[in-house]
Each structure stands twice: as C-alpha cells, then as structure tokens.
Structure 1
Amino acid sequence: MSTDSQGAAAANTTAAAPISFADCNNDICPYSVSFYPYEIDLAPNAAFLALFSLSLAGYLAVLALTRRSKGFTAAMTLGLASEILGYAGRVISWGNQWDEGGFLMQICCLTIGPAFLAAGIYLCIRRIVTAFGPENSRIPPQYYTRIFIPCDVVSLILQAAGGAMASVAFHNKKSTDTGDNIMIAGLAFQVFTLLVFMTLCVDFFANAARRRRALGDAALDQDPGLVGLRRSKVFRAFLGALALSTVCVFWRSVFRVAELSGGWTGELMGRQDLFVGFEGVMITVAVCVLNIFHPSLCFRHGEVKHGGEVSETEKV
C-alpha cells in the first residue's frame, strides 16, 4: 500500500472513529506519523542482521580454535550482540512501525554497540607497538589500554545512561531531551577519544619510519620473532584492516552525533539511506575486515617466549 493510499485510509477510518497511536499499524496509519519518518526497508536490515550474526560466529570460532585474544573477542562479542539486537529491533519495526519495543531496542543497542568495538581496537594497539619497539612510541605500550579503555567505558556509560533515560521518558510520554543530550555527550566523547587514538597511532608509525631512516634496522625491535612478524604479509594486512576498522567506527560515530543533534524530527533522522550507509555499512566493514585478518591469526608468526614468559605480542 502506498503512503498516499495509507494516509487516505487513515483519514477515512479516523472520520468514523478516532485511532490512538497505540492502535496504529502499517495497514491503517501513514508511516510519517510512526516512530520512523520513513518506511523501513527490510532488505538492508535483514542483511545486516545476518552479517553480524555470521561475524559473531566467526569470532567465537577463532576463539575456540586458538584460545587466544580473549579480551579482544569479548569486546567484539558484546559489540556484535548489540548490533544483532539492534537490527532485530528494526526487523520487528518493519512488521509494525508503531511497536515501541522494537524502536527502543534499535535505538539503545545500535547506539552503544560500536563503543565495544572501539574497545577491541584499543586492545590491539599495545601489541603492535611492542612488535615495532616501544621506543618508537611517545607513551609506553601498556598506557594505550590504560588510557583508552577507561575513556571508552566513560563513553559507554554515558550512552547507555542517556539511552535508558530517554527510553523511560519516551515510554512515559515525557520530554527525552535530558537523555538525548547525555547520549550525544557520550557519542561526542567517543569521537574525541577515537580522534586522539588515531592521532597517536599516526604519530607512532611516522616516528618509527623517521627513526628507521636515521638508524636503520636498529630503530625497530630486532627479536627474531618480531622481525619475522613485521615482514609477514598477513601482519601487514592486519595493520591495514585495523586502520580501516578504526576509521569506519570513527565516521559512524561522527554521523550519529550529527544525526542525534538534529533531534528526532531532524533532516538526518529522516534519511534511511544515510543510516544504512553510515551506520550499517560502516560497522559491517569494521567487523568483517577483522574477521578476515583476526589478530589471533595474524600474530601467530610473532610468538616469542622470553624466559618462559609469554611475550606481549601474544597477549590481549
């Protein structure tokens, strides 16, 4: 049924007997007055639901086979579980765009999911710095996780708290402004944290390249295992995949800040195409490239034992 015919049908029905918002469904009310300002397209949402489910299965399979990168896998699992629930909510909403449960599920879960994915990314950089040599970094390797993981937790708490407050206010038919603003603050802090993280990463690799031009191979850690790791094409591909994943999560977060800042009736909130591109596609790329170039698999060639201790390249 077209939007025009739906609007006419709704008008005729309303003339006979007023219909409350709670009684609306896709057959008798126009989409423009639903929780969404557009008709939800099932195809991309079902596709994202399937892709994220397969991605989660892939991460769990690698964990089962290698028993490594447990922290990274935990972060990716939480992020993907949030994405799966979020797109399940959108599929529910496709069936009935006036279903409050599906709407709130997708808003809350899709907002916080990438914060977990960012945590997984932050856990990888310590191993990379160790592989090239800590002296090339402005901060010790362990400080990357000590700084960025707490920042990510703060961002996650703000987003979750804001989403919960907005959901409760929405359910009680009260203003969601306070919850919305807290959620936006959490997303903005996530953008800032990712920007600082990317700046430090670029600085690290630029410094390593500069020192290598001046000192030759002595600028990098010459442990045989680490030398072999750095020469590995798989490891280099992993570095590219991690960079791509980081950029995708960053741009998605920038989009969500702009989208939510415009309000629930803003122009960006009404663009399903932008949501699919900047939310769905960006996060799909972010998780799938790390499925293919998983740190557990890409670091296997760099396993080094020092006096019976497991090296930093084996830990996450």
Structure 2
Amino acid sequence: MDITLIESSQGNITGVVYFTYTPSLSAAYGFMGMFAVMTIAHFMYMFPLRSWYFVSFILGGICETFGYYGRTECNKDITKTGPWMLQNILILGAPTFLAATVYMTLARLTVALGAEEHAMISPRWLTKLYVLIDIICFLSQFAGAAVQASGNQQVIAIGNKVILGGLVFQLVAFAFFLLMAWRISVGFAKRQENFGDGRHLQSGWRKYFWALYTVSVLFIVRNLVRAVEYAQQASSGGFSFATRTADGTLHYLTKHTATLGDNEIYLYIFDATMMFLVALTFLLVHPARLIKRARTAKGEKLLSMETGVTTG
C-alpha cells in the first residue's frame, strides 16, 4: 500500500495519508480480542508445562494484540502518524517473536526424542543460528517500517526494500527449517523400534511434528504474500502524490497502481489469520507436553540445553 504525499499548489508536501481505505474497526477489534485471548492462554500454559521458551511467543502475541489496537485508532484518522506506525511496526514484527519459539521448539523436540543424530545442525547450534536469523529479520522489518513515516521519498523507497529483504530472508530460512524438521521426523520414525529407554515417548510424537509442519507452512504463506506486497511497493517507489480538493477528496497527480496492500482483506486473510492459526495450533498441540514427558528420562540433558549449562 503506497503512502500518499499531499502536495500544495506551490509543490510543498503539506500532509500524508497512510491508507487508500478506511481500516475496518470491527475486524481490528475482532483480531485484537482473539490475539489477546491466545496470549493469555499461552501465558497460563507456560507455568504448569514449564515452557519458559514460550516467552518470545507471548511477546509476539502482545505485539499482535497492540498492532490491531493501532488499526482501531487508524480507523479514526488515516493521516495520524502514531497509530499507523504502531500497527505497521508491530504487525510486521510480531511474527519474528512467534517464529523464535517455533525454532526453539524443533531443537527441544529433537533432544526430547533423542533424535540428535538425524539433525542437519546440532540442536544447540540450531537455536542459536535461527534466533540470530530472527533478530536480523526483526531489525530489518522494524527499521524499514519505522523510516516509512519520514515522509521523505527516498527514505520510504529504501524502507520498502529493507522490509522486502527481511521477509525474503525469513521465507528462505523457514523453508530450510521445514526441511530440517521433516528429516528429523523421518529419521526418527525409521529407527523408532530401537529407541531404547525412550519407549514411553514413542506414542503420539508425530502429532507434535505435524504441528511444527503446520505452523511452518503458515509462516511461509504469510511471508510469501507480504513479500509480494512489498515487492509491488518497492517497484512503484512506495508512495504517490496527490492534492486535496476543496471538498477534502484526493486528486492523484501520478498514476496509482493497485497493490495487495490496497485491499485490507489480504492483510486479515494472509497475516492476521495465519498468525492466529499459529497460536491456536501450538495451544491445541503444545510441544511442551512431549518435552515435559521427556524430562523424567532425560532431565539433565534437556535442562542443560534450556539453561545453556553442559552436564557431564
């Protein structure tokens, strides 16, 4: 969705319009409430399941909740910078917090099942590598979204390209992550009959990997659609020029090419719904249940991974 820069008759920029539509109040309130419920539920699950690594997931839920609150404020005035920045930064950045927990989940499931030999990357290094990737993606999307409020044409164009780069990077990372999860699952299934001391974990482990596949695909779809959206914006510069007529309507001075961002429905289908389903999937099939079952047999090893302390 291009930012519209308002020009005066003298050619000066006198204002900015951040939307080509008026954001839906009911949709924003609806998803704000849904993410709030999911966040509270995950927070309550964290204590009995001792799933402390879900802190980043909860932070992502908080970001989603306040991101859609920002859209309720945008409904009141589509020219205000504060609410637009709030929703833009939080809705773009929230999935990176959710993704951090997804990355850490694969490492913990691998250790819980004793399937380290099937991992392409050591579980300990997997977490560190993907959290680093996540930080890079978050910073790129945060910086790109923040500078778009500058009103400077060149800065807006750069911001769109930075966001696009972060989305593509995360898209590739998730595709490789999905491949690693599949390889561990297939490898473990082949030697399941020789699992030894972990026989009590054999039943039901597949559903946790299916949950992991599901949320990974949801992330990939979300990032792909948003990457297309920002690629469209980057190709057009990310901004349009218009003058405001006496009755308050906008008259575009340059041709405005419609993008995915000009249709609010795409945001709710391919971003809000995708991320809500991620939260719902991990609530219904919470990976910490399997990990908790593993603590009795593998307590020391699993604890050392979660705390970063090596045991002998």
Q: Answer whether contact 1:69 1:315 (CA < 8 A) is retained.
A: no
Contact 2:109–2:287 at 8 Å: present in 1 too?
no
Distance 1:313 1:50, change over 3 A: farther
In 1, distance between residues paired with 2:121 and 2:102? 17
**Cα distance, 1:314 vs. partner?**
8.6
Distance 1:203 1:52 in 2: 32
Residue of structure 1 in register with 2:125 after alignment: 143
8 Å Cα contact 2:60/2:95 also seen in 1: yes
Q: Note if contact 1:83-1:109 (Cα within 8 Å) is conserved in structure 2.
A: yes
- How many percent identity over aligned positions? 21
The residue identity in structure 1 corresponding to 2:179 is: T
Structure 1: distance between partners of 2:36 and 2:203: 33
1:166 aligned to which of 121, 140, 148: 148
1:217 equivalenced with 2:193 (yes/no): yes
Q: Distance in 1 between matches of 2:137 and 2:155?
A: 23
**Structure 2 CA distance for aligned equivalents of residues 272 and 231 of structure 1:** 43
If each structure's helix is expressed as a fraction of its own residues, which one has the higher value? 1
- 1:123 has 2:93 as partner: no
Query: Which of 127, 131, 137 is matched with 1:155 structurally?
Result: 137
Report the AA paired with residue 128 of structure 2.
Answer: R
Partner residue of 2:3? none
Report the AA paired with residue 258 of structure 1.
V
- The residue number in structure 2 matching 1:201 is 181
Once the two structures are superposed, the pairs formed by residues 68-87 of structure 1 within 5 Å of their partners are: 68-71=50-53, 73-87=54-68
Equivalences for residues 223-242 of structure 1 within 5 A:
223=197, 226-232=198-204, 235-242=205-212
SS of the counterpart of 2:75? helix
| TM score, norm. by length of structure 1 | 0.78
Aligned to 1:42: 25
The residue type paired with residue 62 of structure 1 is Y
Is the Cα contact below 8 Å between 2:66 and 2:87 reproduced in 1? yes
Report the 3-state secondary structure (helix = DSSP H, G, I; strand = E; otherwise coil) of the residue aligned with 1:108.
helix
Match of 1:37, SS state, is coil
- Pick closer, same or farther for the CA change 1:277–1:202 going to 2, 3 Å: same
Once the two structures are superposed, what CA deviation does each residue of 1:224-248 show, in whole Å capped at 9, x if it has no partner? xx3222303xx44333222211211
Q: Does structure 2 retain, via aligned residues, the 8 Å contact 1:158–1:182? A: yes
1:1-316 to 2 correspondence within 5 Å?
A: 21=15, 34-66=17-49, 68-71=50-53, 73-130=54-111, 131-167=113-149, 169-170=150-151, 175-209=155-189, 211-212=190-191, 217-218=193-194, 221-223=195-197, 226-232=198-204, 235-263=205-233, 264=238, 266-305=258-297, 309=300, 311=302, 315=306
Cα pair 2:140 2:162 within 8 Å, conserved = yes
- The AA in structure 2 aligned to 1:311 is L
1:105-162 deviation per Cα after TM superposition (whole angstroms, max 9, x unaligned): 1111111110111111000111222215212223322222122111111111211122
1:294 CA displacement: 2.0
Distance 1:266 1:175 in 2: 21
Residue 124 of structure 2 aligns to which amino acid in structure 1? Q
Counterpart of 2:231, as a letter, is S
Change (3 A) 1:298 1:43: farther
Tell me, in whole angstroms, the C-alpha distance in 2 between the residues paired with 1:292 and 1:111. 25
Q: 2 CA distance for matches of 1:126 and 1:173?
A: 43
Q: Which amino acid aligns with 1:222?
A: G
Unaligned runs of 5+ in 1: 1-19, 23-33
TM-score using structure 2 length = 0.79
8 Å CA contact 1:128–1:313 kept in 2: the answer is no
Give the secondary-structure state (helix, strand or coil) at the position aligned to 2:202.
helix
Counterpart of 1:95 in 2: which secondary structure? coil
Cα deviation for residue 285 of structure 1 reads 0.2
Q: Contact (CA 8 Å) 1:127, 1:313: kept in 2 or not? A: no
* Distance of 1:63 and 1:134 partners within structure 2: 25
Cα distance change, pair 313–129 in 1 and its aligned pair in 2 (3 A) = farther
SS for the counterpart of 2:18 is: coil
Provide the C-alpha distance between the structure 2 equivalents of 1:190 and 1:311, rounded to a whole number of angstroms.
27
Distance 2:271 2:26 in 1: 15
